[in-house]
Structure 1
Amino acid sequence: FGAAHPHHAYLFANRRANRLKVLVHDGIGIWLAARRLNQGQFAWPRAGSEPKQHALTQEQLAALVVGLPWQRIGADGVIRVV
């Protein structure tokens, strides 16, 4: 974790994508938050897909944490239908 940048969040999901852990470097230390969905899965990239790092907007992060399809969030915070 030597390359952690202050004021950045790092997200991790388990294999079933129903648990999410967020590590936040606040400039002094690291905070850990966890969330589990009782039903469904987080919209998470499939294993082996590239790139392994994704930069998310605040709207996309908010959507991901509540289990919405963050990949479809536009610049205005609206979910686009595909």
Structure 2
Amino acid sequence: MRCGAERLLAHVVHALGSANAHHGYMFANARATRIKMLVHDGFGMWCAARRLNAGRFAWPRDIDTAKPIALTQAQFDALVVGLPWQRLPEMSTITRL
């Protein structure tokens, strides 16, 4: 998590070949307590960081780094606040127990 925007961009270009305009690229530390997001807004790059004081981000552990994951707006919003974004469809309804 010591990387700045330039070094994160180098990681993206190395892994994916290029950084696309109007895309965001997210990184997490090994404990999933911090995330950084690198965004190419069409004019330049900016970097944002978030840290959880308690708990962990629901970060996928077994992903192929060469294959990006696309998130919906709801999934992204849940990920950034530390909610289990993979379970959003089953969390959207209330069932009788």
Q: Aligned partners of 1:23 and 1:79: how far apart in 2? A: 29
Deviates more, 1:10-19 or 1:50-59: 50-59
TM-score for both structures, normalised by structure 1 = 0.83
Say whether 1:39 aligns with 2:51: no
Q: Does residue 87 of structure 2 align to residue 72 of structure 1?
A: yes
In structure 1, stretches of 5+ residues that fail to align are: none
Computed over aligned residues only, the root mean square deviation of the Cα atoms, in angstroms, reads: 1.8
Larger Rg: 2
Instruction: Name structure 2 gaps, 5 residues minimum.
Output: 1-12
- Count of equivalent residues: 76
Structure with the larger helix share? 2
Establish whether residue 11 from structure 1 lines up as the match of residue 26 from structure 2. yes
TM-score, normalised to structure 2's length? 0.71
Shift of 1:3: 0.8
